[in-house]
Amino acid sequence: MAVLMPGMGISMGPGIKGGAVGGEAAEKAEEKDEKETKHLESLEGANTRLRLYQIDLLDYDSIVTAINGCAGVFHLASPCTVDQVHDPQNELLDPAIKGTINVLTAAKENGVRRVVVTSSVSSIMPSPNWPADVIKNEDCWTDVEYCKQNSVRIRVQLWVLLSHRC
pLDDT band at residue 78 under the 50/70/90 scheme: confident
> Which pTM was predicted?
0.67
Amino acid in the structure at residue 129: N
Rounded CA-CA distance 41/95 in Å is: 28
For residue range 12-39, list pLDDT tens digits in order: 444 454 445 444 445 555 555 677 777 7
Instruction: Give me the percent of the chain exceeding a pLDDT of 90.
Output: 21
pLDDT of residue 32: 55
For residue range 100-158, list pLDDT tens digits in order: 999 999 999 999 999 998 877 777 776 778 888 988 887 888 777 776 666 544 455 44
- Mutual angle of helices 60-67 and 94-109, in 10-degree steps: 40
Four-residue CA torsion sign, 117, 155, 91, 13: negative
Q: What is the mean pLDDT of the chain?
A: 75
The domain 2-121 is placed in CATH, from the list 3.40.50.150, 3.20.20.70, 3.30.450.20, 3.40.50.720, at 3.40.50.720
